[in-house]
Amino acid sequence: MERTFAMIKPDGVRRGLTPELLARIARKGYRVVGLKQMVISRQTAETHYSEHRERPFFGELVDFITGGPVVAMALEGNEAVAGWRAMMGATNPANAAPGTIRADFATTTGENVTHGSDSAESAERELGLFFAAGELLD
């Protein structure tokens, strides 16, 4: 079993997509071992997106992700990192495969409903950033 970090971003929460996305996760067979709705602090957002710090969109990205509640999740299942990323679809919804979350719900590259760790190492780092010891189910 592998764990990954997943997030429903502020645009997805604002649009009421949380129940639909949780249903898709359940239908895929992933186990939700951590779940919380929260507003991300600026410091946490800057740490979370630190690999983008030098890019011109960094400030806009941090402003967006801290601009409303998100749903942070820890998912567990076979090949959860790759599987969740496949479920999300391409970052740009115009390039996302039909039936993926972003193809179905995202409006722009900047407001693309979801986030998912891009590797097992990123998943471990992101899970540690959003969930304290003891918050995840065994």
pLDDT at 95: 97
- Whether residue 137 lies inside any domain: the answer is no
- Whether residue 58 lies inside any domain: the answer is yes
Looking at residue 64, which CATH number applies to its domain?
A: 3.30.70.141
pLDDT at 90: 97
What does the buried/exposed string (b/e) look like for 121-138 if buried means 16 or more CB atoms within 10 Å of the residue's CB?
A: eebebbbeebbeeeeeee
- Domain span at 55: 2-130
DSSP letters along 96-107, please?
SPTTSHHHHH--
- Whether residue 93 lies inside any domain: the answer is yes
Q: pLDDT-derived band of residue 133, with 50, 70 and 90 as boundaries? A: confident
pLDDT at 31: 98
Distance CA 100, CA 3 (A): 20
- Whether residue 25 lies inside any domain: the answer is yes
With both helix axes pointing from N to C terminus, report the angle between 18-28 and 80-88 in degrees, rounded to the nearest 10.
Answer: 130
Q: Give the global pTM.
A: 0.96
Q: How many domains does the chain have?
A: 1
Q: pLDDT-derived band of residue 3, with 50, 70 and 90 as boundaries? A: very high
Fill in the amino acid letter for 82.
Answer: A
- The kind and range of the H/E element at 133 are none
Active site residue 52: no
Residue from 3, 9, 102, 115 carrying the catalytic annotation: 115
- Whether residue 136 lies inside any domain: the answer is no
- Whether residue 138 lies inside any domain: the answer is no
**Tens-digit pLDDT profile for residues 22-81:** 999 999 999 999 999 999 999 999 999 999 999 999 999 999 999 999 999 999 999 999
- Whether residue 40 lies inside any domain: the answer is yes
Q: pLDDT-derived band of residue 126, with 50, 70 and 90 as boundaries? A: very high
- Whether residue 27 lies inside any domain: the answer is yes
Alpha helices in 35-74 (DSSP H): 42-48, 58-65
